[in-house]
Structure 1
Amino acid sequence: MTSSPVLTASGLVKQYGELRALDDVSLTIRAGESVAVMGASGSGKTTLLHCLAAVIAPDAGSIVLSAPGTAPRELVGLSEGERARVRRESLGFVFQEHLLLPELTAVENAALPLLLKGMRRPDAERHAAVWLAALGLAGLEGRRIGQLSGGQAQRVAIARAQVTGAPVVFADEPTGALDSATSSEVLDALLRATTGQGRTLVMVTHDADVARRCSRIVRVSDGRIVGDSARDAAEPARPASATPEAAPLWPAPAATSAQAPTSAPTSPSTSTEATR
């Protein structure tokens, strides 16, 4: 059965001086898809990602976000403050350089989106710790970012992107700064934490091996979509642990009202060895 659209872009145009970064781009992304956006430097792929993610506004066109449980919302025409609210409430982000705050611990970084939504710190950090454990980082919650490896830090970033239960996660070269083995482990975690839970992943990547792990590849050139391959038989995400049965039970979305839940969600134990 075809899933319902979560993002629908129509006729997107973005101009930077003489350069037309997006030229009449239309794209529908459905719930549960993992979409790899590929293209050469300057092709417009990052501009497309930023428009879809409400980071920047296109000069023309329409972007409708249809998050589960909410009415479809037109993103074009929103103020900067309104776009920031959409990003905070409905979207998650993972970047190449993780963009974590070095003065904070792993659990404090992962809990930030919940704190911004009004959850009390003890409850936010308890829920974030469950996500860190589910991503193989149990026991590392109190470490600062400089004490983590690149792969561990990127998994903290994945926890931060997922801790609110965002239905759509955008990733900009999430494995670009990692070696091949660590890249595979981080991608495993990212796919399991998003599409493995029925959420949607939209990812810019230069890496063809990374793109092949996604259910769909969109190719961009000169500001236009020149290829769109929905693939029915994508390679399944491999579990990060050695045994598939050890894959974690992912946390439920956190309640963010002033009255926080009385107990944190539980998760089966996972390996605390995360060397990359």
Structure 2
Amino acid sequence: MVGVAGAHGVKRIEIDYVLTVPVALRACFTVQGFTALLGRSGAGKTTLLRALAGLAPARGEPWQGLAPERRPIGYLPQQTLLFPHLNVLENTAYALKGRRRLEQAGTLLAELGLAALASRRADQLSGGQAKRIALARALAHGAELLLLDEPSVGLDSVTRDATLDWLVETATARGIPMLAATHDHEVATRAERLALLADGRIIQHGPAREVFSAPMGHAAATLLGYENIFERGDEVWAIRARDIRLDPAGERFSVLRVRELGTSLRLVCGPAPRLTVELPHGRAHDYPPGREIRLCLAAAARVEPASGT
């Protein structure tokens, strides 16, 4: 199934692709709303996006055999690839045809709140502005799927959050699914759906809340940013350092190491399980090695057995 149409256009796209070069992988998952493809560097995320755009060899559906220019894809690589000698209006109109192409591009920029940038050259834009204009150009092309390669790269945290919010809100308002390849957990936490790529395959996928709350296997938990993965009886649990809190009624642990990190404090506690704990406040001298503290692990997620598919 290529996609399911809703009131505002294509809402869901089923991806089933096989790649052999430059990496071997099989990717089978659903893109719906804002979907994140989370994987380590070198896992094949960029190659998969390029394959979907028709820029890398692959077999699968949808769009197998279609030339890149015939695919309803808006591809935003890490470098936005805006034409530096053209201004924003001309960059946006590049994919349009006809005498009214500049007028149509101007209308789109106004709709997206970008009209004030229309006369600027691409090399006069900030990183966040360039990503916005790249999306505008993709929308002008009539994209039915937006592909974003590491959308947070090159942006500071404030610009990243504002840019991602804008990208997601814009695509959602137009009913266009968006697939973002990333290794950034902060990007993944914004997704409606999440696919985890490791060892040449999708090791888990589904609604993001479900994936985060029940990682399937050690590899999935590690990808999702759980610093602490430990066994209790016959079960495996995972918890992030920042989700462990001090609690007078909690379990007893001893401080093994302590380090100050800006405004927060990072502790290593033990003996079993050995946990990394991040406290939002405090000073290192308040938690000397050997001090006993009590910790609440209620936010731990149970790690499900890894899927063999």
**What is the TM-score with the length of structure 1 in the denominator?**
0.67
The answer for the alignment partner of 1:22 in structure 2 is: 24
How far residue 11 of structure 1 moved from its aligned partner, in angstroms, is 5.7
Residue number among 195, 198, 222 corresponding to 2:172 in the alignment: 195
2:125 aligned residue (145, 148, 156): 148
Q: Distance in 2 between matches of 1:130 and 1:13?
A: 39
Q: Deviations over 1:159-194 (max 9, x none)?
A: 111113311111111221111111112112211221
| Residue of structure 1 equivalent to 2:98 | 119
Partner of 1:260: none
Q: Does 1:39 align with 2:39?
A: yes
Residues 44 and 222 of structure 1 are in contact (CA less than 8 Å); yes or no, is this contact kept in structure 2? no
Question: Which ranges of structure 1 fall in alignment gaps of 5 or more residues?
Answer: 65-74, 234-276
Q: Distance in 2 between matches of 1:44 and 1:213?
A: 21
Percent identical among aligned pairs is: 36
Query: 1:217 is matched with which residue: 174, 189, 194?
Result: 194
Larger radius of gyration: 2
Distance 1:145 1:105 in 2: 6
Partner of 2:67: 83
Over 3 Å counting, the alpha-carbon distance change for 1:119 and 1:226 in structure 2 is same
How far 1:226 moved relative to its partner? Answer: 1.1
Distance 1:9 1:182 in 2: 30
Q: Which residue of 2 aligns with 1:54?
A: 54
Q: Which residue is equivalent to 1:176?
A: 153
Q: Write out per-residue CA displacement over residues 86-106 of structure 1, whole angstroms, 9 at most, x where no aligned residue.
A: 23xx11122222110110001
Letter in 1 for 2:61: I
Aligned to 2:244: none
- The alpha-carbon deviation at position 232 of structure 1 amounts to 6.5
- Which structure would you say has the larger RCO, counting Cα contacts within 8 Å and 6 or more residues apart? 1
Matched residue type, 1:205: T
Normalized per residue, the structure richer in strand is: 2
Q: For residues 90-149 of structure 1, what are the alpha-carbon distances to aligned partners after superposition, in whole Å with 9 as ceiling and x for unaligned?
A: 1112222211011000100011111xxx332xx211221222223332222111112222
**Secondary structure, counterpart of 1:10 in structure 2:** strand
Contact persistence 1:34–1:216 (CA under 8 A): yes
Partner of residue 264, structure 2: none
The one-letter code sitting in structure 2 at the alignment partner of 1:22 is A
Matches within 5 A, 1:101-120: 101-114=83-96, 118-120=97-99
Instruction: Structure 2 unaligned segments of length 5 or more: list them.
Output: 5-10, 211-309
Instruction: Measure, in 2, the Cα distance between the counterparts of 1:84 and 1:23.
Output: 21
Equivalent-residue separation in structure 2 for 1:119 and 1:192 (angstroms):
29
* RMSD between aligned residues: 2.3
Letter in 1 for 2:16: S
Work out the number of aligned pairs and report it: 203
Instruction: Report the residue type matching 2:46 in the other structure.
Output: T
Matched to 1:47, the amino acid is: T
The separation in 1 between residues aligned to 2:104 and 2:75, in whole angstroms, is: 18
Report SS of the residue matched to 1:51.
helix
Q: Secondary structure at the match of 2:116?
A: coil
Match of 1:112, as an amino acid? Answer: Y
CA contact (8 A) 1:45 1:223 kept: no
Distance 1:11 1:93, change over 3 A: closer
SS of the aligned residue for 1:142 comes to: coil
Letter in 2 for 1:119: G
CA distance in 2: counterparts of 1:56 and 1:125, whole angstroms: 31
Match of 1:270 in 2: none
Distance 2:116 2:14 in 1: 41
